[in-house]
Structure 1
């Protein structure tokens, strides 16, 4: 039983696919199959049920997964036991919101890579709910999200700063305020949302519901860039972090619509699992993030 076989097993459980695991680990699919077969032979019990092209983890596989996560975590600790700050290396996996990656994280990554060229960073973009799932499963070591305050007893959360959200529309749109008083006018508009599991989508829908606003038409996109271009093309109204739309506002391609409420803000937050061992490399990356992101 080798560490590489256990790493392969862990990844197959998380990705639920031999082919995706092979691509992720840069193996041939036959190598992934061989690793799993060697483990099953040694343990003496199947770890996966093969159902045509689909696989599912057996009860023994699920039990083994928990042990493997602990073992690989310990293995990582051993590898870093003599690591010093000047010679940090290794691998960290970071999950972040699209807006954070595109508009906030680039300076952090550039400076960190410059100072720690031997560090290997995997950066995963997804919505907050899915990133949290990846944090629990161990697929990512740290999440950096933009959302309402996280209240989760299993997570260690660092609240970094606040980001302003704004309602936007095309320049030709006549709606000047999102309020109960002009709900009939807003109901005629198309509202452009992010994907359903996104924290911004949930907040936006609840906001409209509380204003008794029920728009007749909706559009949904998985990327902020697509939403921005649709708004600029006069296709509807949306709610986005102002950092994402400053370029369009400056170029006079969209305008900000007021609201009857105080400023709407989300929090930039770093989160790790409370039981997760933080390697020296990860701690240093978190330090860079906290220093850089707090300046915005």
Structure 2
């Protein structure tokens, strides 16, 4: 006879814990452009599990960044519903469930790396000064910059500045990390190193991650799943599961299965581009 516990209808259920980290149903976004209605997103539906790493790929103008803003509660959709762990986006944002990493880290030049990381907790008046400072140091250690706490942004390389941006995004211990092409401006070698660093940080923190990128190789290397978007209007045209083992290292970039996934995503993107070409 098994000693394992079998769930019954009388068992309490934690709906919030059972809910997906991110769930969208038929999300549509319309804008007025030169007096005409413009559909930026059309009937976007997706579900992302807690702790999953998911990427959005698609051509410029397909609405990837707009979708991130809707998920974060910075923009209300024209139609459809958005659920963040069973909550509406505004409630989740007020609870500081989100961390943002943008294309430009936008570090304050008059603050040190440590002070930039500390800033979100300072603004939120979270914890004591000593606690905020200690937590910021821990995060700098996490991104490999413990020895650069006193450095101003101008003294840091582009890759190091982006590490500070990631550390700052984690300052309030968010459950969801939203990344809008954070490494797009870096050279390919630095970008690959940063992707490995991002995976290491994600694996240690186990946040849910949603990445916007134009780079299919980056999407394959990082993700559990990739959603392919098309433009005019912005919509999801494919979902690709990335069946590569974790942990992932850079030697994966030379393996046949990696190339197969990048070829599949490229084919999907090119096929849609041909269909939507004027």
TM-score range, shorter chain: under 0.3
Question: So what's the TM-score if we normalise by structure 2?
Answer: 0.26
Structure exhibiting the larger radius of gyration computed from Cα positions: 1
